[in-house]
Amino acid sequence: MPSQQSTPPSPTPPAGGSEDRPVTLAAVIGAHGVTGEVRLKLFTDDLTPYRAFNNGALTLTSVRVGPKGAIGRFAEITDRTAAEGLRGTALTVPRASLPPLGEGEYYHADLVGLPVVTDAGVPAGRIVAVENFGAGDLIEVEDATGRRVLVPVTVADIGATAIVPAAFLE
């Protein structure tokens, strides 16, 4: 789940952010079998360190690699009907439960909400999303008018704010 960036240190959570805010680690994409197992789309490399999701509403008892992603079992889900009812559910944990990061690493959740300025120091908006379409992380910057621009993370200097070359924001 952490991403690499070569230069600046890890950002601090954005102003108004909280170590208790939920971070999505996986999503239920459907049922698997008839005994209550679910198919999961993972947004992390390893879900096994986490047991309680969604403020303790779901307790993960097992997870394994399946033919089309991960297969999980929750203590509270005992049949296919209940498993189908979870389709579309995001599985979240508090930000504070994530492991500490090394130099130059960040969690996508820590970037959302960071202010963005140009390399000339002009306020340019806020990061509203982090995307990855296969060629690397992109930050989505929204300006005061609501216009959004995708900027490669590799050109941004990320710390307490994101400094982006003005040419990428035009």
Please check whether residues 79 and 113 belong to one and the same domain.
no
Please check whether residues 36 and 77 belong to one and the same domain.
yes
User: Which pLDDT score is estimated for 1?
Assistant: 47
User: Which pLDDT score is estimated for 18?
Assistant: 57
Residues 127, 138 contacting (CB under 8 angstroms): no
User: Which pLDDT score is estimated for 7?
Assistant: 36
The answer to whether position 159 is within a domain reads yes
The DSSP line for 10-68 is PPPPPTT--TTSEEEEEEEEEEETTTTEEEEEESSS--TT--EETTTTEEEEEEEEETT
For each of the chain's 170 residues, which pLDDT tens digit applies? 444 443 333 444 444 345 678 889 999 999 999 999 999 999 888 899 999 999 999 999 999 988 778 999 999 999 999 999 999 999 999 988 998 888 877 888 889 999 999 999 999 999 999 988 888 889 999 999 999 999 999 898 888 889 999 888 88
User: Which pLDDT score is estimated for 73?
Assistant: 97
For residue 138, the enclosing domain spans 106-169
The answer to whether position 11 is within a domain reads no
Which residues on adjacent β-strands are paired with residue 30?
39
**HEC string of 97-113?**
HCCCCCCCEECHHHHCC
The answer to whether position 8 is within a domain reads no
Instruction: Kindly state the helix (H) or strand (E) to which residue 6 belongs, with its residue range.
Output: none
User: Which pLDDT score is estimated for 159?
Assistant: 84
Instruction: Report how many domains make up the chain.
Output: 2
Give the CATH number, domain containing residue 84: 2.40.30.60
The answer to whether position 118 is within a domain reads yes
User: Which pLDDT score is estimated for 70?
Assistant: 94
Residue given tokens 């047991």 in the structure block: 51
Lookup: tokens for 130: 């982090």
CA–CA distance, 47 with 89 (Å, rounded to integer): 16
The DSSP line for 117-147 is EETTS-EEEEEEEEEESSSSEEEEEE-TTS-
The answer to whether position 158 is within a domain reads yes
The answer to whether position 15 is within a domain reads no
Q: What angle do CA 45, 49, 51 make, to 5 degrees?
A: 120
